[in-house]
Amino acid sequence: MCGIVGYCGDKLASEVLLSGLKRLEYRGYDSSGISVNSGNKLSIIKKTGKIKNLRDAVPENLPGHFGIGHTRWATHGGVTDINAHPHSDSSEKIAVVHNGIIENYTGLKEKLLREGYVFKSETDSEVLAHLISKFYEGDLESAVKSALSLVKGTYGIIVMHADKDNELIGARNGSPLVLGIGDDEMFLASDVSAILAYTKQVVYFEDGEVVKVTSKGFTTSDLKNNRVSKDMENISWELEEMEKGKFSTYMEKEIHEQVESIPRAMKGRINEDLATAVLGGLNMTGRELLDVERVKIIAAGTSYYAGQVASYIIESLARIPSSAELASEFRYRNPVVEKNTLYFAISQSGETIDTLFALREIKRKGGRVLGICNVVGSTIPRESDGGVYIHSGPEISVASTKAFTSQITALYLFAIHMARMRDMSQSSGAAFLKDLNIIPEAITDILNRKAELQKIAEKYAHYPNFLFLGRGINCPVAMEGALKLKEVSYIHAEGYSAAEIKHGPIALINEKTPSMFLVPDDHMREKIVSNMKEVKARNGKVLAIAVKGDKEVEDIADEVFYVSKTHENLYPYLMVVPLQLFSYFCAMELHRDVDQPRNLAKSVTVE
């Protein structure tokens, strides 16, 4: 969840580090800091709050051409300058930035205290600085490896020493680390976004690997000193894609980008002649796909709701039993991994730790796992047996929007592929794909009328509680809508099946708790309309997303936003975009920081 960055080269390290940390803000943080080698002495500067506070504290033209930086999301110890990273040893010769959690830090700290080491912070990370200092005898890489051999937990770290000019040591275990290769300069970071302004040539590291970096090159080995050969990759993203452009926030920009990101997820993956999808990245033969008897989707947060939507569509179109499970619960349940079950791991970042560990548990038990991810080269796609990149482009806002619709697009294509292999006719496949292809046009219509949603949001943003209600394939969309409102506006909201309100939530209905109903023109419509009437009869405020021409909904609801008619299995696209905009406008009305909501992080890499 934290961000780390390191630099070796001929530029002023402080400027490169501050620039990199600024681009890592979206990951979520509460403090930041840098360490720069200035004449065989470490200048360590740390501040709570925004990067601006750190920048104001860093002297202009601070000398030093190699250093490390960090954005912290507090886990151990409060949000203070002292607890911010980098952490140093007692001599202040060694500095460490750390993303992850040291699970056995208490025992290590007690032992180090008995040996006379003095701790300044409340963090688990400071243990690393003292351990490395304990083992240091002139070889920083060797000292890091010795220290890490005693550590249990997750880490992405970068280490520097005041006496080791132009040298950084990086290592990872369960937390991402990437090397950027420039001209006589090298970069280390937890995320390519931190270094994209300087290079597109990168190397990704695996768990258990340690890298020694200078401005001239790098060497990689494991903790047992075995050399590891690494391949260089090129980043396809452009720096401009990470800018806000004409929009005031990344969230608004990314909501609008769905008009382009959904077609990108489909590009080159539809065979119109055969009315099917082509997904070569699955790395499975036709025979292996026909042998699939069940699909299970593992994910967290917004990706989990995308998985729930996908489970409906896979069952509906391909007639394969399917379900979605929370990765955090799945991994601790000693799951039964069945021979003919195909597993999907969904993660925008490809680094979500609960999903990654669930993936590893499935593979340990002999299961086949396919990844659905956005970030090329991230850990989940590298460790999966195959999968699909969604190609959404950078998603910077903490609240995920375009990744959700791209994730369901990838899984819709999988459902079509499986359905056409089984019992879906060519004409039915062609009709479905035709409707899928015009979804971006229907979303454009929604975006052109967003002022209607803004007006509704401004009217209801000051209500303390919301219910979001849907049925069938749109039930998880309602849950995703509630999640978005909670994330960016801090309004309490709950998502339910509309049928379930009679089993408890109806007790919450009053004039202070609006209910947002999703009312597609499908086989569940009449049931949802009946639920709306039940809420209205109890003096509840009723808001609705309905299909153009549905006058009955207009007669019942206090507020209605209309969307275009489409195939009943495609309504999740047209229901979720208005909910994203509604949440966005509520947050703006309440003057929230929509791109960096409090306490949240974009990439959840700790438990």
Known catalytic residues are 2, 602
Check: CB of residue 273 under 8 Å from CB of residue 433: no
Check: CB of residue 542 under 8 Å from CB of residue 514: yes
Sign of CA dihedral 127, 128, 129, 130: positive
Residue 182 identity (one-letter amino acid): G
Q: Whole-angstrom Cα distance, residue 219 to residue 242?
A: 30
Residue 548 identity (one-letter amino acid): K
Chain CA centroid to CA 474, Å: 22
Helix or strand (DSSP H, E) at 470: strand 465-470
Q: HEC states along 55-85?
A: HHHCCCCCCCCEEEEEEECCCCCCCCCCCCC
Check: CB of residue 130 under 8 Å from CB of residue 90: yes
Q: Residue 237 carries which DSSP code?
A: -
- Supply 327's token pair: 């990765």
**Sequence-distant (≥ 6) Cβ neighbours of residue 322 within 8 angstroms:** 294, 295, 296, 297, 310, 311, 312, 314, 315
Residue 218 identity (one-letter amino acid): F
Strands (E), 292-432: 294-299, 322-326, 341-347, 368-373, 386-389
Give the number of other Cβ atoms within 10 Å of residue 10's Cβ.
Answer: 12
Q: Whole-angstrom Cα distance, residue 554 to residue 563?
A: 13
Q: Whole-angstrom Cα distance, residue 106 to residue 178?
A: 29
Give the number of other Cβ atoms within 10 Å of residue 383's Cβ.
Answer: 17
Check: CB of residue 593 under 8 Å from CB of residue 25: no
Q: Residue 571 carries which DSSP code?
A: H
**Sequence-distant (≥ 6) Cβ neighbours of residue 10 within 8 angstroms:** 65, 184, 185, 215
